[in-house]
């Protein structure tokens, strides 16, 4: 029986920040469809968080479209995109991370609409409006994961612990 190789997700925040800064200097133009999604999100009813596959589909693929449009597409930024998408997926799956075999055991497309999908979409739209760096998007998504308790204390890096302490001070 062949032994599967598991790719360990190990990263350095400085590496992500450096890649983000380089990518931000080479940002492409915006397509302009973000305003349409922002207006639609404001009309969503967040009180009744029942399963609505059509709405979940629309919000999930709006998130994907925004990421595809606004993240750097060059091959050298593949790892940066992977880090950001991993944070998004961890959040949307309610904190599920890949196990040693590379299996997550959850599908981010099945996330709760008002408590997860719309939260990510709102954060993406804020990030676009603020015009901040790609690194700031990574930090926004990581902060969501920390705020929702999706990282155990031993998994949180020194930088994350500063974010967590700052959240508790605010």
Domain containing residue 155: 13-23+32-40+50-169
Does residue 4 belong to any structural domain of this protein? Answer: no
Cα–Cα distance for residue pair 107/67, rounded to 1 Å: 18
| pTM of the predicted model as reported, rounded to 2 decimal places | 0.70
Whether 166 has a pLDDT exceeding 70, the answer reads no
> What does the pLDDT read at residue 57?
93
Average pLDDT, stretch 68-92? 94
> What does the pLDDT read at residue 16?
86
Q: What pLDDT digit, counting tens, does each position of 98-127 carry?
A: 888 989 999 998 898 989 999 999 999 999
Does residue 6 belong to any structural domain of this protein? Answer: no
Does residue 100 belong to any structural domain of this protein? Answer: yes
Cα–Cα distance for residue pair 54/100, rounded to 1 Å: 33
Cα–Cα distance for residue pair 142/54, rounded to 1 Å: 27
Q: How far is CA 117 from CA 17, 144, 157, in A?
A: 25, 12, 25
Please give the structure tokens belonging to residue 161: 């612990």
Whether 19 has a pLDDT exceeding 60, the answer reads yes
- Tracing tokens 């992977």 back to the chain, one arrives at 82
> What does the pLDDT read at residue 6?
46
The total number of structural domains in the chain stands at 1
147 confidence band (pLDDT: 50, 70, 90):
very high
145 confidence band (pLDDT: 50, 70, 90):
very high
Range with the lowest mean pLDDT among 4-18, 30-44, 105-119, 140-154? 30-44
Whether 12 has a pLDDT exceeding 90, the answer reads no
Average pLDDT, stretch 59-80? 94
CB 157 within 8 A of CB 170: no
Quick one: residue 102, left, alpha or beta (phi over 0 = left, psi -120 to 50 = alpha)?
Answer: left
17 confidence band (pLDDT: 50, 70, 90):
confident
């Amino acid at each position: 029986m062949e032994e599967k190789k598991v790719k360990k997700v190990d990263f350095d925040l400085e590496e992500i920040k450096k890649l983000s800064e380089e990518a931000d200097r080479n940002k492409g133009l915006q397509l302009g469809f973000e305003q349409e999604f922002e207006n639609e999100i404001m009309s969503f009813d967040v009180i009744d968080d029942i399963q609505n596959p059509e709405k979940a589909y629309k919000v999930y693929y709006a998130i994907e479209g925004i990421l595809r449009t606004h993240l750097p597409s060059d091959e050298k930024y593949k790892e940066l995109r992977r880090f950001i998408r991993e944070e998004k997926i961890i959040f949307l799956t309610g904190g599920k991370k890949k196990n040693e075999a590379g299996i997550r055991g959850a599908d981010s497309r099945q996330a709760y609409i008002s408590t997860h999908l719309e939260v990510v979409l709102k954060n993406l739209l804020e990030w676009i409006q603020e015009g901040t760096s790609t690194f700031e998007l990574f930090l926004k998504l990581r902060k969501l994961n920390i705020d929702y308790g999706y990282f155990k204390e031993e998994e949180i890096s020194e930088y994350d612990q500063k974010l967590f302490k700052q959240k508790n001070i605010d």
